[in-house]
Structure 1
Amino acid sequence: MTRALVAACAAAAVCVSAPTVLAAPTPYSPETREAWVNPMARAGESGDLRIDVTRAPDTIRAGEEMRLVLTVSNSSDEAVSDLFIGARRGDPTWTVEEARRVLALDTGAYPWAGPGLELPGELGPGERREVTLVLPPEFLPEGTFPLLLQMGETTERMLVTVTPAPTAGGEDVTAPQVPGLTVLLPLTAPVDIVPGETGRAAEETPLILQTEQLAGQLAPGGRLSGLLDVYATEQRGTCLAVDPALVDTVSRMRSGYTVAGERPSLTKKTQRLRDSWFSDDEPDPGVPGRGAADAAAWLERLQGAGCVVPLPWADADVNAVAATEDEWLFREATARGPQLLAEELGVTPVGNVVVPPSGYVTEQAASALGWADQTVSVEESWEAAVAELTPQPAGVGDTSLESTHIPDRSGAPTPGAPVRVLVAANSVWGVPQQDNHALLAPGVTAVTYSPALGSLLAATGPVPRTTGYSHPDWRFDYRLDSPAARAVTAASAVRLAVRQQTLPGDWAQSPQPVLVMPAPLLDVPTAGTLLRTVTTLLDDAAATPLALADALTPPPGLEQQPVAPPSVGVTRFGSPWPDPAAVSDTEVLRAAQQTRYTDDLTRMMVNEPAIQLDRYDFTLPLRRDILMALTGTSRSSLATRDNAVRAADERLDANRRTLQELRGSVALIPPGNVYTRASESSPLLIVAENGLPLPVDSDLAYSGPEGATLAMNGYVYIPAHGSITVPLTADLPAEESQTHLSLWLATRDGSPISTPVEITVQTRAGIVGTYGVALLIVVGLALALLFRVGRHRRRRRP
């Protein structure tokens, strides 16, 4: 076994060190500001005075008045007076695209003036006042139109729908064809598991959360609990889009958990007793969590869901995951969900569906969607990939272990079952399309929805999102309008999208289905408003409920069309506009480094039948940490973008430290600074230790001077939480008195495992030279002693 190799040593020094620490990107830099907010859209509206809609009807009938409850607030340090609220509206809109555009225009797009309301007296500093504004029937035409409430420079805008008044029966009206309606109600939340978790044998790893925010959402009155209440009111055409990371965490919470800021060390460090007298390195043990009962109750309610589709794990950005070019990270993001949801909820989820939080997929992500085949177990795929090469002898103590090398694969295979991905319609343009389906790759089909509707639905709730596929001219800080106003806007947009697909009379055509995709962090009031609107549309026969499985079925013949492979420099799909919420290249690079590091850590271990833990499950939580860092849930909102980027940076940094600690627990222990051999046939003895819970099957790599070779009998098999002495046969240059060697452990395919150690071997020539010098010194000392004794005797003679 030969290892040359100053070059290999240099590579080892790079690979076994910590992944490069790169600076986190600036969340809201001047370069990206205009990608978030068009400076010309609703300029100058932010200020100390606000007017917010507190309560408003979802819709009204023609001939009815509209009653709005408003909250007027003054956040300045001075009182203001002579305040007047005026109402204006624009012309009725006929498309969702036009409705979204007019909401970003100046007040000139609202030419019709209505009644106003004067606030009596002064509005003091910090004061909030609730008022009621009544809009008369003559101001409210039939249809969907934009409404503007103005107080000084401040405006509040929303879409208002006025439906026709009930008519007397007897009219012979040709009923139009109505579209199918499918709603995906998202269930996801930030999961703040303390990073650095690993799998354990025989028992489940204790759950440690950073805060109780998730328990608050699961409790009665919390957001996640309220969403299940809303879902119970209308299930026709509605499917729950469930984050498997959320369900997995809630399931673990049932058995109890701890709230703490840090995690205990994974490895035990040797410390002298006297060094521990005045130091306390033990982490904060935390406090018991209070949400176990609420977690159990919430999960029990979710088990009765009629339709469930998995989101990516932790709602991870599949484009960023694909950019890491790691097959196993992409599989965990897209293929793990159905298996876990089936186990925890007792239902069969709608399979092979990918719901990107960004609303689009890049060419790179589309080419990886073959790995999203959710009918194949991830662990089985890993072990099958490991076993593809011919078995090789394992080395010390065992000769039956297979190679741990994973073969290099060029691209994802065609999925065994078709994969569907839900994206905005304007994000696919250069591929075969039919109706609302587009063929992205063999076996991979995009199911599209209205980008304007998706953008209006995303801009709801306390943390409105900016979609990457939305037109930049109509982007503004959506927090200028109140959550209640944006909820009414979303409901009106759904009605408008349904009406767009309805053509009356003889011109009736087959309408396209309407896919309603609310924001991932959907709030309860907005969810209630949307599902009330859906119920009304279904009850009025304006739409028919469409099961998600039916909405995903492509038109006949589409999947038989040829798909051209990607061309260099040619973009066929992706975000049509700059996406300010996209994961930065810096973060992708850090995640890619850590996934490769994690893969190497997994491959160097060996499954042991006597240990109730396999290597993939041991490192699985480390991959999930990376997915949580790449989540798209909070990145696309101005309200939470900074915190999301900061949390991702902290999680990746903590994950890096854990990987360092784990890799550092597998090491070589040198015999000392200088190793002296009695003869050329004397072996070198090196101790290898393993602090991991599974055995490590490794090779011994080295570098040294020209002509130096080391050999051993087989490979190094280090038992779990143990050590082993490795004898090495050394053939060293005879002309050198000392030979300097660098040794490290590596996987069988050459990936370094441990940090290199430096040893100096005293060769035979050096030993002879040393013995010769010592002999001369001894002879010299003996002669000097004899000379002194003789001289002393001569002096004593008479």
Structure 2
Amino acid sequence: MRRAVAAGLAVACLSTPALAAPTPYDPETADQWVNPMARGDEAGDITVDITQAPDSVSEGDSLRLQLTVANSSEEAASLTLSTRRGDPTWDVAGARRALALDASAYPWFGPTVDVEVGPGERREVPLELPAEFLPVGTWPLMVTAGENTERMLVTVTADAEEEQQTPGLTVLLPLTSRLDIVPGETGEAPEEAPLILGSEHLAGQIAPGGRLSELLDIYAAEERGTCLAVDPALVDTVSRMSRGYTVAQSRPSLITTKQRLRDSWFTDDDPEPGAPGRGAADAAAWLERLQGAGCVVALPWADADIDAVARTEDEWLFREATQRGTEVLREELGVEPVPNVVIPSSGYITEQAAPSLGWADQSVPVDQAWEASVATREPQITDNALESPVIPDHAGAPTPAQPVRAIVADNSVWGVPQSGAHAHLAPGVTATTFPAALGSLLAATGPAPQTTGYSNPDWRFDYRLDSVTARAITAGSALRLAVAEETLPAEWAQSPEPVLAVPAPRLDAATARTLVSTVTELYDARAARPVPLAEAVTAPLLDPVGPPAVGVTRFGSPWSDPSAVSDTEVLRAAQQTRYTDDLTRMMVNDPVINLTRYDFTLPLRRDVLMALSGTSRSSLATNRDAVEATNGRLDANRRTLQELRGSVALFPPGNVYTRASESSPLLIVAGNGLPLPVDAELAYTGPEGTVLTAHGPVHIPAYGSITVQLTADLPEDEDQSQLSLWLATRDGSPISTPVEITVQTRAGIVGTYGIALLVVVGLSLALLFRVGRHRRRRQRP
């Protein structure tokens, strides 16, 4: 059976856990994307693509293909298109392997056709394969044009001759898209913050004929056993688009600085206002269509990489990634999503990330959990999070009140208790598995095919060598093959294992149409029975799994993942989320202001989640752009946080502060440019023996300032004291930039001036004495 084979392979790979790429663009990870020994195709001037083919053919029917031959050279070419097939494949893993082998794995020759192609010409060529060339089964098929090949899996079906036990089938159809919200947004009141997008990319996706619009049409054609895996960030953005938005490259500054009129005469620092967005009506229509979906489950926010989010060790970032989505979908769509389900974009959960899944439990809303945690938080002195080079290690999440289910590849859970398609990862956390080979073939579809981190690197190649149509047909055949693997004879006592199909997050319409058509045929032929997602992820009681032995990994990807978020990027994300937490705790909710402190900083956390999105990273075609987008968003988010940090500041009365006496207080102004009041402690450093006392916490009104009076006990043997002061949260986390002041008493000034005066008087007397003596000498006879 498939699962026994997968388990055996996983055990053999225990010594190679998933590794994060050390830095973006590391050339050492190149062979993790493409095995140089796989496929063996050579790029040339002549290419051939399959542009049209049926999803499958019945026994006895011929297979008709439509090919496109292109000549990019400057000379005409005469060539022969030939067809070849390999041996039949009986499992999905074998099919994936066959697609990566060289041409010698396709020893059976089929029809050929001669073609003349002029320089720069593209020609459509029909080709028919007779029924005797493709008997019943699943066949690797290859079309060759010189050194270029086009490959796909072809399924030839036959009517079932005997009663069989058919497996259950559940198919996820993901709805995600690139969200280019201009970074730097914060919450506002009384109205919501205006939506500013960097382009009209999303408007094109949801317009009639766009990818996201077509996916809703395809889902409506077959709702049996299918479920929409929806990115809540997408729904939230489209909802905001429906109320109007702006397209611009930047957003206005969060902090308004005072400027003299004459300084603004010849300057124009205001950003471009942008243009009104054109997709509001389409957004409203698309959202209305989505509201009728029968089954919905939330993806992580912005399809963020769950492992990377867990590595930041920030509870609130993880809660926003995994918990907020169900609430948003419920409010925006009026449906009840399948709760407590986590679908990692990587297809696996690392052992380090599993304990954090307790925070995915949706029993308590995020905002309420935040306020409760602040009320019970213990004081702790830390360095400034934005500059800290380390990530504090936290104990992890508590056991969830309701079970949390993760959907992962079946080869990523090898050393934990399992029962069928379910595995126990942590207390209250289970995994529901899907076939790893099927997941890899479904991911390798569309214009930007993905390389799954859990796939065997030996069979990785640049999937763009085959056309989008060929890879879509391969996906349909792979799904049929996965169902056939689990089909059992009627007389067997055991029940077949269910099949869970998880396509690529950026599923394209052509592949979705092929998959849904395949699903419909399987159901209608009673080759599979539809299973709702809620039933598919319901796990039986499993034995608990304790902590692993030191140095032992029991689950996670068995192979290296070239698309994993780097440690450098995780550190930057952790710095920004920790500082966002500190900034939020320093503010105070005001019942008069229709904005909570958590809602004010929530968009900043979402910026970090968008930066950690794993979708485009896992494609060789878009990885570099995705990494650059991550760095750009993190840079912009840091600038916003620095701007917010500068808005809460201390303003000393000059660099040197003179006290009339040792009992005189120090006066310093604290300003707040935030829309909520701030409660802060005054923190300082100074010479040994320095004690500064503020009478209670510093409460700074929203968009206001206050003069703080400090009682200062300074070293008696020092006439001047160098002090560094800053504002911190009530539990000790630094917030504002430190200011340096020198404190000097009048007694010190008098003492200094007195000594100088005595020196001057002494020198004057000495000079007078010398002059008088010189005169007396001259007056002697």
Q: TM-score, normalized by length of structure 2? A: 0.91
1:618 counterpart residue number: 600
User: Relative to structure 1, is the Cα distance of residues 467 and 541 closer, same or farther in structure 2, using a 3 angstrom cutoff?
Assistant: same
1:759-798 equivalent positions in 2, closer than 5 A: 759-769=741-751, 772=754
The one-character-per-residue Cα deviations of 1:635-664 (angstroms, maximum 9, x if unpaired) are 000111111000000000000000000011
1:138-217 equivalent positions in 2, closer than 5 A: 138-164=132-158, 174-217=162-205
2:112 counterpart residue number: 116
User: Relative to structure 1, is the Cα distance of residues 744 and 28 closer, same or farther in structure 2, using a 3 angstrom cutoff?
Assistant: closer
1:606 counterpart residue number: 588
Is 193-202 or 268-277 further displaced after alignment? Answer: 268-277
1:513 counterpart residue number: 498
1:371 counterpart residue number: 359
The secondary structure found in structure 1 opposite 2:112 is: strand
CA distance in 1: counterparts of 2:277 and 2:465, whole angstroms: 37
User: Relative to structure 1, is the Cα distance of residues 518 and 498 closer, same or farther in structure 2, using a 3 angstrom cutoff?
Assistant: same
Q: Which amino acid aligns with 2:607?
A: D
Q: Which of 433, 437, 461 in structure 2 is aligned with 1:476?
A: 461
Q: Which amino acid aligns with 2:497?
A: Q
2:615 counterpart residue number: 633
Question: Are 1:645 and 2:640 matched, yes or no?
Answer: no
Shift of 1:266: 0.4
2:71 counterpart residue number: 74
1:518-533 equivalent positions in 2, closer than 5 A: 518-533=503-518
Q: Which amino acid aligns with 2:58?
A: R
Question: Are 1:135 and 2:129 matched, yes or no?
Answer: yes
Question: Are 1:266 and 2:254 matched, yes or no?
Answer: yes
CA distance in 2: counterparts of 1:155 and 1:382, whole angstroms: 56
Contact 1:732 1:763 in 2 (8 A): no
Shift of 1:734: 2.8
The secondary structure found in structure 1 opposite 2:632 is: helix
1:787 counterpart residue number: none
Question: Are 1:593 and 2:588 matched, yes or no?
Answer: no
What RMSD over aligned residues (CA atoms) do the two structures have, in Å?
A: 2.1
1:670-749 equivalent positions in 2, closer than 5 A: 670-749=652-731
Contact 1:734 1:764 in 2 (8 A): no
2:447 counterpart residue number: 462
2:561 counterpart residue number: 579
1:326-405 equivalent positions in 2, closer than 5 A: 326-388=314-376
Shift of 1:765: 2.7
1:487 counterpart residue number: 472
CA distance in 1: counterparts of 2:263 and 2:121, whole angstroms: 59
The secondary structure found in structure 2 opposite 1:103 is: helix
Shift of 1:610: 1.1
Contact 2:378 2:731 in 1 (8 A): no
The secondary structure found in structure 1 opposite 2:616 is: coil
Contact 1:736 1:765 in 2 (8 A): no
The secondary structure found in structure 2 opposite 1:364 is: coil
1:306 counterpart residue number: 294
Shift of 1:741: 1.5
Shift of 1:75: 2.2
1:793 counterpart residue number: none
- Give the total of aligned pairs: 734
CA distance in 2: counterparts of 1:757 and 1:90, whole angstroms: 74
CA distance in 2: counterparts of 1:433 and 1:668, whole angstroms: 58
Q: Which amino acid aligns with 1:123?
A: G
The one-character-per-residue Cα deviations of 1:141-200 (angstroms, maximum 9, x if unpaired) are 111111110111111000001111x58xxxxx5411101110100000011100010001
CA distance in 1: counterparts of 2:761 and 2:455, whole angstroms: 93
Shift of 1:338: 0.6
Contact 1:103 1:157 in 2 (8 A): yes
Shift of 1:770: 5.1
CA distance in 1: counterparts of 2:360 and 2:197, whole angstroms: 29
The one-character-per-residue Cα deviations of 1:507-545 (angstroms, maximum 9, x if unpaired) are 463111111111111111110110000000000000001
Contact 1:38 1:475 in 2 (8 A): yes
Q: Which amino acid aligns with 2:114?
A: E
2:388 counterpart residue number: none
CA distance in 1: counterparts of 2:699 and 2:582, whole angstroms: 16
Q: Which of 318, 323, 327 in structure 1 is aligned with 2:311?
A: 323
1:39 counterpart residue number: 36
Q: Which amino acid aligns with 2:321?
A: A
Shift of 1:330: 0.4
Question: Are 1:548 and 2:544 matched, yes or no?
Answer: no
Is 272-281 or 766-775 further displaced after alignment? Answer: 766-775
Shift of 1:275: 2.8
Shift of 1:202: 0.8
Question: Are 1:452 and 2:448 matched, yes or no?
Answer: no
The secondary structure found in structure 2 opposite 1:148 is: strand
Contact 1:176 1:508 in 2 (8 A): no
The one-character-per-residue Cα deviations of 1:681-711 (angstroms, maximum 9, x if unpaired) are 2211110001111111111111111222211
CA distance in 2: counterparts of 1:477 and 1:508, whole angstroms: 43
Shift of 1:82: 1.9
1:647-666 equivalent positions in 2, closer than 5 A: 647-666=629-648
The secondary structure found in structure 2 opposite 1:203 is: coil
Contact 2:165 2:490 in 1 (8 A): no
Shift of 1:26: 5.8
CA distance in 1: counterparts of 2:667 and 2:25, whole angstroms: 57
Shift of 1:721: 0.6
CA distance in 1: counterparts of 2:227 and 2:320, whole angstroms: 22
User: Relative to structure 1, is the Cα distance of residues 221 and 343 closer, same or farther in structure 2, using a 3 angstrom cutoff?
Assistant: same
2:382 counterpart residue number: none
Shift of 1:44: 3.6
1:54 counterpart residue number: 51
CA distance in 2: counterparts of 1:424 and 1:111, whole angstroms: 33
2:425 counterpart residue number: 440
Contact 1:54 1:484 in 2 (8 A): yes
1:563 counterpart residue number: 545
Q: Which amino acid aligns with 1:293?
A: A
Q: Which runs of 5+ in 1 are unaligned?
A: 1-23, 168-172, 392-406, 784-798
Shift of 1:773: 6.3
1:248 counterpart residue number: 236
The secondary structure found in structure 2 opposite 1:293 is: helix
Shift of 1:737: 2.1
Percent identity of paired positions between Structure 1 and Structure 2: 73
The one-character-per-residue Cα deviations of 1:392-422 (angstroms, maximum 9, x if unpaired) are xxxxxxxxxxxxxxx9962210000000000
Shift of 1:128: 1.0
Contact 1:701 1:746 in 2 (8 A): yes
The secondary structure found in structure 2 opposite 1:248 is: helix
Q: Which amino acid aligns with 2:110?
A: G
User: Relative to structure 1, is the Cα distance of residues 369 and 389 closer, same or farther in structure 2, using a 3 angstrom cutoff?
Assistant: closer
User: Relative to structure 1, is the Cα distance of residues 723 and 290 closer, same or farther in structure 2, using a 3 angstrom cutoff?
Assistant: same
Is 134-143 or 285-294 further displaced after alignment? Answer: 134-143
The secondary structure found in structure 1 opposite 2:494 is: coil
CA distance in 2: counterparts of 1:67 and 1:389, whole angstroms: 68
Q: Which of 61, 79, 85 in structure 2 is aligned with 1:83?
A: 79
CA distance in 2: counterparts of 1:285 and 1:713, whole angstroms: 46
CA distance in 2: counterparts of 1:488 and 1:734, whole angstroms: 85
Question: Are 1:96 and 2:92 matched, yes or no?
Answer: yes
Q: Which amino acid aligns with 1:641?
A: N
Shift of 1:774: 8.9
Shift of 1:631: 0.3
Q: Which amino acid aligns with 1:501?
A: E
The secondary structure found in structure 2 opposite 1:70 is: strand
CA distance in 2: counterparts of 1:269 and 1:340, whole angstroms: 35
The one-character-per-residue Cα deviations of 1:42-71 (angstroms, maximum 9, x if unpaired) are 124322221000000000111111110011
Contact 1:199 1:205 in 2 (8 A): yes
Contact 2:71 2:77 in 1 (8 A): no
